[in-house]
Chain A
Amino acid sequence: MNTIAIKELLYKMADDLLIMGHRNSEWTGLGPVIEEDIAFSSMAQDKIGQAGALFEILHQLGENEPDTVAFMRDANKMHCSQFVELPNGEYDFSMIRHFLYDHADQLRFEMLVNSSFEPLAQVAKKIKGELKYHVFHANTWVVKLGNGTEESKARMQTALNESWNYALGMFETGDFEKELQSENIFEGEEALKTRWMANITPFIEKANLKVPDQSTWAPILGGRKGYHTEYLQQLVEEMGEVFRLDPTAQW
């Protein structure tokens, strides 16, 4: 088993989930209506739990304790895509990001159900239902807002346009694509991107939105290699603030 390749895969997945979960949790108490506030916060918690499960596998592979890994690293040591670290903006952007990210996340785990790396396959099986709900939630909101008022349509289209190249950056290829493929651990970012396009397109159409013209596509890369926007360092400091006060404290 190629441990370095597996670790790289686990880190990028876990960091995406951790940072996305943290960002989404920033809506807690500020959501548009109480029901949605609870639903969105609950899903944010799910994501942090999923990140925790992956950090636990990493720990089994010799990495530090999950809490240490989650809260003590600076931004340049994080492997999340730049997409998930962007500030929440308004609900239109948060919903579009939720839609684009969660579809990719669900598909990635779906592909990993049959992974030859058993611990990851087990997590993938276990969280199938959670992911299904997250995507159902995203689809419902995006279709509803895309078919709402003139303002909501315009906001959703703008958010989609602004998100697009960041979203493509989620599929930045790593150094071990071939190894992961040949050992039947993970089929790879390109395969994931193809499936993602096929899955999101019908919902984008149903929402009466348009995927930006292909001539404008320019994936924003670097996140997987530790290059991030200015927002991530601010986020990790805030997220780890209490833990960093006393890393040895027992909770």
Chain B
Amino acid sequence: MIKSLDPRITREQIELNNPINPLADMDQWETYEVFHQKKRGDQHEHVGIVHAPNLEMALLFSKEQFGRRGISVNIWVVKTSNVFASDYDDADIFETVPDKQYREAGGYKVMEMINKYKKENKKII
């Protein structure tokens, strides 16, 4: 008999020379993408993935996987297969983005203009 530190194993009274039978293949469950919302009105954020046989159970598991620490008020689950994603081979479509600073607020040298204006109009202000 196998004598283990884990009493649950010892209790099973498993023979020492017990041949380990390979597990039968499982029907794999699908994956679901999980989004959680920290407070009402916030955007839902993607937090991870769970395996589940259906939407209801995906929700059931998500609560414990991703909602048991910290605060959540709401969870969305979406079948991974329902997510339409871009291809990593097409990642070059994003390549010139860093060059386009003028599209970001930080790209404008506003402060310089303000300081220049202040300097020029010092007497008036």
CB <8 Å contact, A35 and B8: no
State the CA gap A35–B65 with chains docked (Å).
7
CB <8 Å contact, A140 and B56: yes
| Interface locus among A36-44, A97-105, A208-216 | A36-44
Main SS class of interface, B: helix
Q: Which residues of A contact B7 (CB under 8 A)?
A: 238
State the CA gap A250–B68 with chains docked (Å).
28
A30 at the binding interface (Cβ < 8 Å): yes
In chain A, what residue has the closest Cβ to B64?
A39
A144 at the binding interface (Cβ < 8 Å): yes
CB <8 Å contact, B60 and A137: yes
In chain A, what residue has the closest Cβ to B62?
A35
Q: Which residues of A contact B64 (CB under 8 A)?
A: 35, 38-39, 42-43
A136 at the binding interface (Cβ < 8 Å): yes
In chain A, what residue has the closest Cβ to B58?
A35
CB <8 Å contact, B63 and A133: yes
B53 CB → nearest A CB, Å: 7
On chain A, the number of residues with a Cβ less than 8 Å from chain B's Cβ atoms is 16
Q: Which residues of B contact A36 (CB under 8 A)?
A: 61
Q: Which chain A residues in 1-51 approach chain B with CB under 8 Å?
A: 26, 30, 33-36, 38-39, 42-43
CB <8 Å contact, A33 and B57: no
CB <8 Å contact, B68 and A35: no
CB <8 Å contact, B56 and A35: no
Scan A132-148; emit 1 where CB is below 8 A from any B CB, else 0. 01001100100010000
A35-B50, A35-B51, A144-B57 known; A30 vs B8 contact (CB < 8 Å): yes
A39-B64, A133-B63, A136-B60 known; A144 vs B53 contact (CB < 8 Å): yes
Scan B1-22; emit 1 where CB is below 8 A from any A CB, else 0. 0000001100000000000000
Q: Which residues of B contact A39 (CB under 8 A)?
A: 60-61, 63-65
B78 at the binding interface (Cβ < 8 Å): no
CB <8 Å contact, A33 and B29: yes
**Chain B residues within 8 Å of A, Cβ to Cβ:** 7-8, 29, 50-54, 56-57, 60-61, 63-65, 68
**Chain A residues within 8 Å of B, Cβ to Cβ:** 26, 30, 33-36, 38-39, 42-43, 133, 136-137, 140, 144, 238
